Structure 1
Amino acid sequence: MGGNMDIVYYVLALLVGVIIGYIVVSIMKKKSDRNKISSAENISRRIIDDANRDAENIKKESLLTAKEEVYKLKQNIELEETKKRNELSKQEQRLNKREDLLDKKEDSLDKKSEKLDRKQESLNAKLKNVEEKELQIDESLEEQKLELEKIASLTNEEAKQIVLDMANEEAEHQRALIVRDYEARIKEDQNKLAREVITRAVQRQASDVVAQSSVTLVTLPNDDMKGRIIGKEGRNIRSFENITGVDVIIDDTPEAVVLSSYDPKRREIATITLEKLMIDGRIHPARIEEVYELAVEEVEDRIRQYGEDAAERARVHGLPHEIIRTLGILNFRTSYGQNVLEHSVEVANIAGNLATELGINARTARRAGLLHDIGKALDQEIEGTHVEIGVRLLRKYKINEEIVHCVEAHHFDVPFNSLEAMVVQAADAISAARPGARRESIEAYLQRLSNLEEIANSYDGIKSAYAIQAGREIRVIVEPDKISDDKITLLSQEIAHRIEEELEYPGKIKVHVIREIRASAYAK
C-alpha cells in the first residue's frame, strides 16, 4: 500500500513539474515576442526616418535643378535682349552718320554754281525720300522696341516655347529640302545603282555553270570487259538494263561504255552498280541484282551528303533532317538541263549577296533561295506544282513563314509582301539566265533564232537581221533612205514588244537597230 502511494506522489509531482515548466516556457515566449515586436518597431522607425531624409534630399535637389534652369533661361533672354539693343544702337549710329553726311552734302550744294541749281529739286526729292525712309526706320525701331518689351514680359515657359517652335519649323523646312534633294538624286541614279548592286552580288558568286546531259560515260579497265558486260547471248546486259532502268550503249569507243537515261538518279545507281561489278569481277544476273541493292543504299547515303554539302556551301544551317534529305534529291533533278541543286545553291548565294548590298535580312534570303525549288524533288511523286509542293513541305516542318512566302512568291503565284521575296525572285532569274546555264534542244534553239530573224525582217525598210550571242541579241540593219534616225528608236521598241508577246526564251534579248550612211568619192 505504501508503494502505491509513493507512485501516486511521484506522478503528481511530475504533473506539477510539467505544468510549472509550461508556464515558465509560455512566459519566456511572450517576453521574446515582445522583444521581437519592439525590435521590428525600431527598424520600421529607422526605415521611415531614412525614407523621409531621402525624400527631403531629392526635394532639395529638384528645387536646385529647377532654379538653375530658370536662372539659365533668364540669362539667355537677357543675352538676347542685349544683342538686340546693341544692334539697335549700331543702326542708330549709322543713321546719325547718314544724317551728318546729308547735312554736309546740303551745305556743299548751297555753295555750288547756278548750274547745280537745276539739280537742286532732284536732290531735295532724294532728301525727302531719305527722310521718309528715316521715319520708316524710326517706326521700325519703335516696333522692335515694343516687340522686345513684349518678349521681356513673357514667362520663361512661353519664351522657351516660342524658340522651340521656331527651331522646329526651321528643322522641318531643312528636312523637307534634304528629302526632296535625296529623292531627286535617287531617281537619277536608281538604274545605275541597281546595275551596280546586281553586278557586285553576281561577281561575288562566280560559280561554274552546271548543265547536265542524259548520258554518263563509264571507263572500263580494258575492252574485254565489254564482252563480260554483254554476257552469253546478251543476258547480262539485258538483265542490267531491266534492273537499273537505263540503256547501256556499247560501241567502238575504246575502254568505255555509255549509260543513257533521262533520270539522273537511275544513271547514278547504274554507274555505281557497273563499277562495283567490274571491281568484283563476277557479272551475272543474280550478282547484278545483289550489287544493285547495295548501290541503291549507297545512293541514299549520298543523297543526304549532297543535301548537307549544299547547305554548307549556301551557308544555311539548322535545317530539319528531312529537308536536308529532300535537298539532296535535287541533285538528281534538272530544269532545262540545269542541275537543280547547283541552281538552288547559286540562288541562295546570289540572294544573300543582294540582300547584304541592300541592307535587308540576308539570312532569310539565303534560306529561301536554297529552298525555293525544293518542291521539284517531289513533283514526280506528288500532285501539284513544285511551288505548291514546296510550300506544303516547308510548313509541315515548321519553317519560318517569311521563308515560306519567299518560296511561294518566286514565280509570282502570290503578291510580294517583303523585300526578301523580291530578292529571291531576282536571284532565281539571274541564275537561270546566266549564259549556258540552261540547255535547249538544238531544234528548239535553231527555231528560236529563226523566229527572231523573221520578226525583225517582217518590217518595211529592213536590210538584214542577224540573231547573235546565242540568241540573246538580234542585230537589225535598216535601209537609211527608208527609215530615219528618229524612227529606229521606235522600231527597236516595236520589235522588242513583239518578241515578248510571241516568243518564249530564257533571260532577256537585246534588240540592236543600226542605221548607217556611207558616202564615197573618187579623186581623178
Structure 2
Amino acid sequence: MDYTFIIIAAVVGLAIGFAIAKFMEKGKASKTIANAKREADSILKNAKTEGENIKKDKIFQAKEKFLELKAEHEKVIIGKDKKINEAEKRARDKESQVSNELAKSKRLNEQLESKIKNAEHRIEVFEKKQAELEKLHKHQVQQLEVISGLSAEDAKTQLMESLKETARTDAMSFIQNTVEEAKLTAEQEARKIVINTIQRIGTEEAVENCVSVFNLESDDVKGRIIGREGRNIRALEAATGVEIIVDDTPEAIILSCFDSVRREVARLSLHKLVTDGRIHPARIEEIVRKTEKQIEQEIVEVGKRTVIDLGIHGLHPELIRSVGRMKYRSSYGQNLLQHSREVAKLCGVMAAELGLNPKLAKRAGLLHDIGKVPNTEAEVETPHAILGMQWAEKFGEKPDVCNAIGAHHDEIEMKTLISPIVQVCDAISGARPGARRQVLDSYIQRLKDLEDIAFGFGGVQKAYAIQAGRELRVIVESEKVSDDKAAELSFEISQKIQTDMTYPGQVKVTVIRETRAVNVAK
C-alpha cells in the first residue's frame, strides 16, 4: 500500500510539476510576446520617426535644388535680358547712325543740287558771253578786212608762211649747234662713263692651270696610294680620268687633267682616302662616286650664292646649276665664273650710269657666256652666244636678256640698249692684261676633241686624255668588246685621230678591257 501511495504521490507530483511547468512556460511565452510587441512597436515608431526625418531631409534637399535651379534660371534670364538689351542698344545706335547718314546724305544731295543749278547758271552765262565774244570777233575781223583790203584766210596764209620760214631757220640753227655740241661731248662722256665703271669694279688676275698639287703629310703615304703592283693608282686614274704623277717631289702628288671638275673630284677623293686610311680599288670607286655627288651639290650651292651676291632673283634652277658649273670652266685661261661675275657688275654699274635697268643688265651680264658651259644635251656646232640665247629662251628669260646674250659677239642684231653694254663689258673684262691666254683654250679644246673621237666608237664606256694630250686612255665594256676587238678599236681610234686632228708629236691610244666577277656572301 505504501508503494502504491508513493507511486500515486509521485505521479500526482509529476502531474502537478508538469502543470506548473506548463503554466510557467505559458507565462514566459506571454512575457516574450509582450516584449516582442513592445519591441515591434518601438521599431515601428523609430521607423516612422526615421521616415519622417528622411522625408523632411528630402523635402529640404528638393527645396534647395529648386532654389538652385531657380537661381540658375534667373541668371540665364538675366543674361538673355542683358544680351537683348545690348542688341536693342546696338540696333538703336545703328538706327541713329543710319538716320544721321540719311540726314547727311540729304544735306549733300541738297548741296549737290544747289551746285548743279549754280553750274548750269554759270554755263548759261558763259555761253551767252561766248556768243557775244564771237560776234565781236567777227565784227573786228570784218573791220580789219575792210581796212587791210585782205580777207581773213589770205591774212592767215601770209602769216603762217612767214612764221614757217622763221621757225625753219631757227630750227636749222638749233639743230646744227646741238649736233656740233654732241660731237664735242659725246665721245668724252662715253669715255668718262666707261672709265668710271672700270674704276668702281675691283678685278683680280685670272690664274687657271691644268695641274693641281696634293700635299701629303709624309712620303710613306705615296706607297699606299700606288698600291700593290700599282692597282690603287690605276683604279683611281680609271675612276676619275685624272693622271696622277708620283715623282721625287717631297710630300706632294701632282694631279694632271684639263678638266678642272675631274681634278677637284680626284683631289677631294684622295684627301678622303688618305684621311680614312683604307685605300683599295673598291673603296676608291665608292669614294669617287660620293665625291662626284658632293661636287654636283657644291655646283648648285655656288650658283645660288652667286645669284644672291649679285641680287638676281627668279633664275631657273637649270640656269643656276649652269652658273655654278662656270666655277670649273675657263675662257681663254680666264675663270668663267669670275669673268661672268665681273661682267655682271660692270653691266650693272654702266646701266645705272646711263639711266637703264641695272638688275636686267646684271642678269644679262651673268648669263652672257652660259653657252660655254657643257650640258647633258648633245653638243651642236653652234656659237656659244646663240646657244646661250637658246638656253635663256628655253628657261623663260626676258627678250632683252636673250638678245643681249645672243648679240654680244655680233651673231645677231642688237635690239636693246642692254646688248651693247654687255658687249662692251665683256670686252673690258677680257682685255685686261693677263686676263686671257689664247693658247690654253686651244689646248683644252684639243683634249676635248680627243675624248669626243673615242666616244664616237661603240662599246666605249669612258675616255680620258692624259699626259698633256700625248695619251688617250679608253675604257671599254667587257661584255660588248672582246680582246681582239679591243686591239682593233685601238687601231681605228688612232687612225681617226690621225685623219681628223692636227696636233704636235704623237698620241698614244690605250684601250683597257677589264673583266670583273662580283658575288655577295650572306
**Length-normalised TM-score, structure 1:** 0.54
Identify which of 215, 218, 223 aligns with 1:227: 223
| Distance in 1 separating the partners of 2:123 and 2:271 | 89
Q: For residue 370 of structure 1, what is the aligned residue in structure 2? A: 366
Structure 2 residue runs of 5 or longer lacking an equivalent are 1-105, 134-142, 444-522
Q: Given residue 57 of structure 1, which amino acid in structure 2 is its aligned partner?
A: N
Q: For residue 318 of structure 2, what is the aligned residue in structure 1? A: 322
| Distance in 2 separating the partners of 1:180 and 1:356 | 30
Structure 1 residue runs of 5 or longer lacking an equivalent are 1-44, 73-145, 446-524
| Distance in 1 separating the partners of 2:215 and 2:398 | 46
| Distance in 2 separating the partners of 1:65 and 1:208 | 75
Q: Given residue 292 of structure 1, which amino acid in structure 2 is its aligned partner?
A: V
Q: Given residue 390 of structure 1, which amino acid in structure 2 is its aligned partner?
A: G
Q: Provide the aligned length of Structure 1 versus Structure 2.
A: 329
Judged with a 3 Å threshold, the aligned counterparts in structure 2 of structure 1 residues 309 and 179 are, in CA distance, closer, same or farther, namely farther
Q: Given residue 340 of structure 2, which amino acid in structure 1 is its aligned partner?
A: S
Q: Which runs of structure 2 are paired with 1:124-203 in the superposition (5 Å)?
A: 177-203=173-199
Query: Per-residue CA shift, 1:57-100, capped at 9, x if unaligned?
Result: 2233456778999999xxxxxxxxxxxxxxxxxxxxxxxxxxxx
CA contact (8 A) 2:332 2:440 kept: no
Judged with a 3 Å threshold, the aligned counterparts in structure 2 of structure 1 residues 260 and 53 are, in CA distance, closer, same or farther, namely same
| Distance in 1 separating the partners of 2:164 and 2:255 | 78
Query: Per-residue CA shift, 1:28-83, capped at 9, x if unaligned?
Result: xxxxxxxxxxxxxxxxx9999877644322233456778999999xxxxxxxxxxx
Q: Which runs of structure 2 are paired with 1:11-410 in the superposition (5 Å)?
A: 53-62=114-123, 177-378=173-374, 381-385=378-382, 386-410=384-408
Q: For residue 421 of structure 1, what is the aligned residue in structure 2? A: 419
The percent of aligned pairs where both chains have the same amino acid is 38
Q: Given residue 399 of structure 1, which amino acid in structure 2 is its aligned partner?
A: E
Q: Given residue 402 of structure 2, which amino acid in structure 1 is its aligned partner?
A: V
Q: For residue 464 of structure 2, what is the aligned residue in structure 1? A: none
Q: Given residue 330 of structure 1, which amino acid in structure 2 is its aligned partner?
A: M
| Distance in 2 separating the partners of 1:412 and 1:256 | 47
Query: Per-residue CA shift, 1:146-186, capped at 9, x if unaligned?
Result: 99x979xx99xxx9xx9999999988876765543332122
Judged with a 3 Å threshold, the aligned counterparts in structure 2 of structure 1 residues 66 and 198 are, in CA distance, closer, same or farther, namely farther
Q: Which runs of structure 2 are paired with 1:459-498 in the superposition (5 Å)?
A: none
Q: For residue 412 of structure 1, what is the aligned residue in structure 2? A: 410
CA contact (8 A) 2:333 2:441 kept: no
Q: Give the secondary-structure state (helix, strand or coil) at the position aligned to 1:191.
A: helix
CA contact (8 A) 1:331 1:342 kept: yes
Q: Give the secondary-structure state (helix, strand or coil) at the position aligned to 2:254.
A: strand
Q: Give the secondary-structure state (helix, strand or coil) at the position aligned to 1:252.
A: coil
| Distance in 1 separating the partners of 2:167 and 2:116 | 40
**Length-normalised TM-score, structure 2:** 0.55
Query: Per-residue CA shift, 1:383-413, capped at 9, x if unaligned?
Result: 1322232222212211111111111111111
CA contact (8 A) 2:386 2:405 kept: no
C-alpha displacement at 1:272, in angstroms?
1.0
C-alpha displacement at 1:255, in angstroms?
1.8
Q: Give the secondary-structure state (helix, strand or coil) at the position aligned to 1:354.
A: helix
CA contact (8 A) 1:394 1:404 kept: yes
C-alpha displacement at 1:367, in angstroms?
0.8
| Distance in 1 separating the partners of 2:267 and 2:147 | 98
| Distance in 2 separating the partners of 1:333 and 1:280 | 30
C-alpha displacement at 1:329, in angstroms?
1.3
| Distance in 2 separating the partners of 1:308 and 1:71 | 76
Judged with a 3 Å threshold, the aligned counterparts in structure 2 of structure 1 residues 261 and 57 are, in CA distance, closer, same or farther, namely same
Moved more, 183-192 or 264-273: 183-192
Judged with a 3 Å threshold, the aligned counterparts in structure 2 of structure 1 residues 67 and 251 are, in CA distance, closer, same or farther, namely farther
Judged with a 3 Å threshold, the aligned counterparts in structure 2 of structure 1 residues 214 and 69 are, in CA distance, closer, same or farther, namely farther
Query: Per-residue CA shift, 1:168-225, capped at 9, x if unaligned?
Result: 9988876765543332122012222222111111111122132311111122122222
Q: Give the secondary-structure state (helix, strand or coil) at the position aligned to 2:421.
A: helix
Query: Per-residue CA shift, 1:284-336, capped at 9, x if unaligned?
Result: 11111111111011101110111112223333222111210111112221111
Judged with a 3 Å threshold, the aligned counterparts in structure 2 of structure 1 residues 229 and 59 are, in CA distance, closer, same or farther, namely same
C-alpha displacement at 1:263, in angstroms?
0.6
Q: Given residue 194 of structure 2, which amino acid in structure 1 is its aligned partner?
A: I
